[in-house]
Amino acid sequence: LQKKGGDNTHKNERVTIKDVAERAGVSLSTASLVLNGKGGVSDITKEKILKATKELSYRPNHAARSLRASNTKMIGLLIPDILNSFYSEIIEYVRGEIERQGYFLILGITGNKSENEEKYISEFVYRGVDGVICVPQLTYVQNTSYINLLDDYNIPYIFLADNYEKNESPYVMCDLYKGNFDMADYLLQLGMRKLFLLVGDKRVDMPYIQGYRDAFKKNKLHPDDSCIYETAYEFESIQSVAEVMIRENPEAIMTISDWMACATMQEAIKHGIKIPSELSVTGYDDVIYSRINQTPITTVRQPIQEMCTIAVRGLMSMIRSSIKPEPIILEPKLVIRESTKY
Amino acid sequence: LQKKGGDNTHKNERVTIKDVAERAGVSLSTASLVLNGKGGVSDITKEKILKATKELSYRPNHAARSLRASNTKMIGLLIPDILNSFYSEIIEYVRGEIERQGYFLILGITGNKSENEEKYISEFVYRGVDGVICVPQLTYVQNTSYINLLDDYNIPYIFLADNYEKNESPYVMCDLYKGNFDMADYLLQLGMRKLFLLVGDKRVDMPYIQGYRDAFKKNKLHPDDSCIYETAYEFESIQSVAEVMIRENPEAIMTISDWMACATMQEAIKHGIKIPSELSVTGYDDVIYSRINQTPITTVRQPIQEMCTIAVRGLMSMIRSSIKPEPIILEPKLVIRESTKY
DNA sequence: GTGAAAGCGCTAACAA
DNA sequence: TTGTTAGCGCTTTCAC
């Protein structure tokens, strides 16, 4: 009866499957069979075992099960930032689908630092996740070495919402280029000409820029790269850049996130500019900010829920049958609200 | 060499501590000693083992370690909703401190449903967390039975941001009563009299109501309970209630979250009411919305980071030395912005 | 249909 | 200072 060994100060005598088996008067392995829903056990013994389980309020030990079965029923989600609504929506939808599939989600939040990606992937490997979903932190110099770790350990993974160039891994994302093309086209069709674009890093946000440029061409106009501005992520940084832009008297400012749009609008209003009558501002993603903003924001909707569901199912097919899904690119959709003049 | 047993289709031959020991020419237990940083090993053997670890790029197996050591270095955080900024800030700060303490955070997100609390606590127990932080979903009928589960398994836990009445568990939260008292007092001192209060559930949000009432008394005025309104959580629900309130022409509407304040302001503006000149609106919590709103919101700041740090440290003291910390109540702070007339 | 036994990878008592 | 050994709780052949 040396049940309470070591420094096991808390966790008194836990009831194990052995206790259940004993109480039911069967062998340990039969109990295991029943508790895992495998067939080949008579109804009568099954009954006894289930009864014993209830009476002892037995709960399986996850560590033991994982060790033996070498799976954990855990999926790791690597994500840049939880304070950003776009990402928290992703977390929410991924979590929903993951749990529906009988798995449990654990999170690696990199805090927008790509250096941290490897750290959390490491943690995932250590904790033995059965699969990984990566929402990458895009940077100009792409450090994708953490993918090797996953490959080494044969852990299936899929990219979500974004992906690295020259990377063979499966991914599901929205057509970022198309979304910005549509938005620019919409504004141009409205007759606007002095149309600015605000991005994060020009090298990283190329798809948005390309969409913007191509919309000009489609309308037989010449895009002017001096109308493209860059900003850091912080609200205040965005506002300083917005201030600079505003001085040029644009008719519209397109941004690549609703967050940027919020900051830009706040800055414009501070300068006494009326939205949308004097200036149109647009966002991207269609997260909660765009709806609850005092002037609801015209934006491009990414089909977040759909993306997440597809990504999870793709990952599941890799886990369960080693079938690697094809890359998937979903259509964005323009959402016209009140921050654009019409 | 039957390394690849069972259905172990992926995960090829993992390198174990045994491989490391063999390569270093020492015994398995010596390797374990070194890898866990326990002393009593000569520098020379230590060196050899570390070298072998590198060469084989060995990584410990978490399941095995947990099973043996009966701890997982995981902490569970039970939280109502990840799309709510208040909670995501909590997650962020808790995560930071937890990781600083060498633990890993896993999340149970109840989706604002108190029925789910038991489900996630169960999951935590199953996964063997070493401790739990509960941000409870407050409801009128308090179902705290999940606490028993934690007690049964001797898993330390602490409440954060809120706590149940008649509950002996340690907690750290902000003085909600005081915050609303200060806010009401501030508005009253400004000369406002027709001061409305918007809460969620009157029975649950009593501390806020009491603060509101007492501020009237302090100013030798009579609080009028018919000025207290209730709303559901959804943005649209809040707006419908706001519409009703607005019809009564209040001078100010106090709310108990920045989210409610946003919705209320949007509704007021829709009705052509100017903020703050014609109506003051206040929030609570001081989350991101209150800063980025077009009219930055006057609110009550909860010291979220401090709360989180204290809670984690308290939990750690329970885990490491079974010392149960005293309840802690922190001071809120008024943050005056531009949604209130002055 | 059921039981016995091996062993997943690791830690920690105990021996040497 | 180092090695031997006994399990942690579970799943899964393989006999019966």
What percent of chain B stands above pLDDT 70? 96
The rounded mean pLDDT for chain A is 93
Helix H or strand E encompassing A310: helix A304-321
Q: At a CB cut-off of 8 Å and minimum separation 6, what does B170 contact?
A: B158, B159, B314, B318, B324, B325, B326, B327
What percent of chain A stands above pLDDT 70? 96
Q: What sign for the dihedral angle of Cα B123, B129, B131, B132?
A: negative
Q: Which residue, counting CA atoms, is nearest to the C1' of nucleotide C5?
A: A29
How far apart CA B267 and CA B262 sit, in angstroms, is 9
Mind listing the pLDDT tens digit for each residue in A199-209? 999 999 999 99
Q: Which residue, counting CA atoms, is nearest to the C1' of nucleotide D9?
A: A64
Q: With contact defined as beta carbons under 8 Å apart, do B325 and B309 qualify? A: no
Evaluate if residue A10 carries a pLDDT over 70.
no
Pick among B62, B94, B238, B337 to test the A interface (most A CBs inside 10 A): B62
Mind listing the pLDDT tens digit for each residue in A106-156? 999 999 999 999 999 999 999 999 999 999 998 888 888 899 999 999 999
Cβ within 8 Å, pair A67-B67? yes
Relative orientation angle of helices B28-35 and B43-56, to the nearest 10 degrees: 90
How far apart CA A328 and CA B43 sit, in angstroms, is 54
Q: Is the CB of A6 under 7 A from strand C?
A: yes
Instruction: State the first-to-last Cα distance of chain A, in angstroms, to the nearest integer.
Output: 80
Q: Which of A6, A60, A155 faces B126 most closely, judged by CB atoms? A: A60
Please state the separation of Cα A286 from the chain's center in Å.
15
Distance of B30 CA from C8 C1′ (whole Å)? 20
Evaluate if residue B25 carries a pLDDT over 70.
yes
Within 157-176 of B, beta carbons closer than 8 Å to A belong to none
Q: Which of A12, A125, A262 faces B154 most closely, judged by CB atoms? A: A12
Pick among A16, A57, A67, A94 to test the B interface (most B CBs inside 10 A): A67
Provide the shortest C-alpha distance from residue B92 to chain A (in Å).
Answer: 7
Within 255-294 of B, beta carbons closer than 8 Å to A belong to 259, 262-263, 265-266, 269, 288-289, 291-294
Supply the DSSP string of A128-180, one letter for each residue: T-SEEEE-----SS---THHHHHHHTT--EEEES---TT--S-EEEE-HHHHH
Provide the shortest C-alpha distance from residue A235 to chain B (in Å).
Answer: 8
Q: What sign for the dihedral angle of Cα B252, B256, B258, B262?
A: negative
Supply the DSSP string of A172-235, one letter for each residue: EEE-HHHHHHHHHHHHHHTT---EEEEES-TTTTHHHHHHHHHHHHHTT----GGGEEE--SSH
Which residues in chain A, range 263-282, keep a C-beta under 7 Å from any nucleic strand C atom? none
**B259 chain-A contacts, CB cut-off 8 A:** 292
What's the pLDDT at A165?
Answer: 77
Contacts A–B by Cβ distance under 8 A: 117
Q: Which residues pair with B230 in a beta bridge?
A: B199
Pick among B91, B233, B236, B269 to test the A interface (most A CBs inside 10 A): B91
Helix H or strand E encompassing B77: strand B74-79
Q: Is the CB of B60 under 7 A from strand C?
A: yes
Within 122-141 of B, beta carbons closer than 8 Å to A belong to 122-123, 125-128
Q: How far is CA B102 from CA A82, B61, B147, B321, B322, in A?
A: 20, 17, 25, 16, 18
In this prediction, residue B11 has a pLDDT band, given cuts at 50, 70 and 90, of: very low
Cβ within 8 Å, pair A127-B104? yes
In this prediction, residue B107 has a pLDDT band, given cuts at 50, 70 and 90, of: very high
Beta pairing, strands B171-174 & B157-160: parallel
Provide the shortest C-alpha distance from residue A316 to chain B (in Å).
Answer: 14
**B127 chain-A contacts, CB cut-off 8 A:** 62, 104
Evaluate if residue A6 carries a pLDDT over 70.
no
Q: Which residue of B has its CA nearest to A236?
A: B292
Mean pLDDT of B316-327: 94
Q: With contact defined as beta carbons under 8 Å apart, do A264 and A281 qualify? A: yes
Mind listing the pLDDT tens digit for each residue in A43-64? 999 999 999 999 999 999 999 9
Q: Is the CB of B8 under 7 A from strand C?
A: no
Q: Is A323 on the interface with B (CB under 8 A)?
A: no
Q: Is B245 on the interface with A (CB under 8 A)?
A: no
Evaluate if residue A12 carries a pLDDT over 60.
no
Q: A299: number of CA atoms within 13 Å, CB side?
A: 24
Mind listing the pLDDT tens digit for each residue in B38-79? 878 899 999 999 999 999 999 999 999 999 999 999 999 999
What's the pLDDT at A341?
Answer: 86
Supply the DSSP string of B173-223, one letter for each residue: EE-HHHHHHHHHHHHHHTT---EEEEES-TTT-HHHHHHHHHHHHHTT---
> B33: which nucleotide lies closest, measuring CA to C1'?
C11
Structure tokens at A126: 């250590």
Provide the shortest C-alpha distance from residue A217 to chain B (in Å).
Answer: 35
Report chain C positions within 7 A of protein CB atoms. Answer: 1-5, 7-13
Q: Which strands sit side by side in the sheet containing B171-174, from one edge to the other? A: B104-109, B74-79, B131-134, B157-160, B171-174, B328-330
Residue, of B30 and A4, whose pLDDT is higher: B30
Q: Is B110 on the interface with A (CB under 8 A)?
A: no
Phi, psi angles (nearest 5°) of residue B300: -110, 125
Q: Is A321 on the interface with B (CB under 8 A)?
A: no
